């Protein structure tokens, strides 16, 4: 479905991002991976995607908190793969603490990586998308882009902002055949969520099991974590021509959590 397309997927060395990058590769898209992990593991993953799916895959170590590095990643994609058709802004970090205990530097880092990086990347690739009259921007926010939770002020603020940015991109770029949508997952069992479980257990003084049952999944109607494959399948669909009229949407994939 995506043969001939090129996608940048930020935060794609593990978790949701890797799932999306893999799903794109299965559909024939060339990929720019990005994120932090063991260098040998990143290279083996990159090579495996190329080998198994017959696509081109390159890697950028761009620090998403540094605008110039984000721009260099976009240039790498153009220089190596020729163009950028699809951008998935997935990179994200988290810190759990009450507002009056949130370190200033954690606020700045979370806003920079979870929100500002998306602006800088879209700004860099949008002219090319406009010139080709086709493009897809997919922003991975969170159910916390739709509702708030305590102890997550910078994360909630960034994810709400990401939805607003996505809607603005959508209305500005619609006439060029470009769509912009936000996926808002509920809790997905990723390394980031594993860390949140530990952080919330410490913050609330309860066991990790109680965090899962009584905090994370308390309002999730299906009482299970969302899967990476579910998020990746939606990202693939939003990147196809069948989704050409879906834009400015904030799509909850949360097992009903935000309806409580």
Would you please indicate which residues are annotated as catalytic (active-site) residues? 155
Among 162, 171, 178, 190, which residue's Cα sits nearest to residue 238?
Answer: 178
Among 228, 258, 197, 241, which residue's Cα sits nearest to residue 17?
Answer: 228
Among 235, 142, 138, which residue's Cα sits nearest to residue 187?
Answer: 142
Helix (H) or strand (E) holding 23: helix 15-26
Q: Token match 């949701």: residue?
A: 16
Among 114, 109, 12, which residue's Cα sits nearest to residue 60?
Answer: 12
* Half-sphere exposure for 249 (CA within 13 Å, toward CB): 14
Residues 6+ apart with CB under 8 A from 46: 33, 57, 58, 59
Residues 6+ apart with CB under 8 A from 218: none
């Amino acid at each position: 479905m995506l043969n001939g397309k090129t996608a940048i997927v930020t935060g794609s060395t593990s978790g949701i991002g890797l799932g999306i990058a893999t799903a794109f590769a299965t559909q024939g898209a060339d990929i720019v991976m990005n994120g932090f992990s063991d260098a040998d593991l990143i290279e083996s993953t990159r090579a495996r995607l190329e080998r198994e799916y017959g696509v081109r895959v390159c890697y950028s170590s761009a620090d998403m908190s540094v605008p110039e590095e984000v721009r260099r990643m976009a240039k790498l994609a153009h220089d190596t793969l020729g163009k950028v058709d699809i951008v998935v802004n997935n990179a994200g970090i988290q810190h759990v603490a009450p507002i009056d205990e949130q370190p200033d530097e954690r606020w700045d880092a979370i806003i920079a990586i979870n929100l500002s990086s998306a602006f800088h990347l879209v700004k860099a690739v949008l002219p090319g998308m406009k010139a080709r009259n086709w493009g897809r921007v997919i922003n991975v926010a969170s159910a916390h882009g739709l509702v708030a939770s305590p102890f997550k002020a910078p994360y909630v603020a960034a994810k709400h902002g990401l939805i607003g940015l996505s809607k603005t991109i959508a209305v500005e770029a619609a006439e060029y055949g470009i769509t912009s949508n936000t996926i808002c997952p509920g809790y997905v069992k990723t390394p980031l969520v594993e860390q949140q479980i530990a952080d919330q257990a410490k913050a609330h003084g309860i066991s990790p099991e109680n965090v899962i049952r009584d905090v994370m999944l308390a309002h999730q109607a299906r009482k299970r974590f969302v899967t990476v494959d579910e998020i990746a399948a939606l990202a693939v669909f939003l990147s196809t021509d069948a989704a050409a009229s879906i834009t400015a949407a904030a799509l909850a994939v949360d097992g009903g959590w935000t309806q409580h």
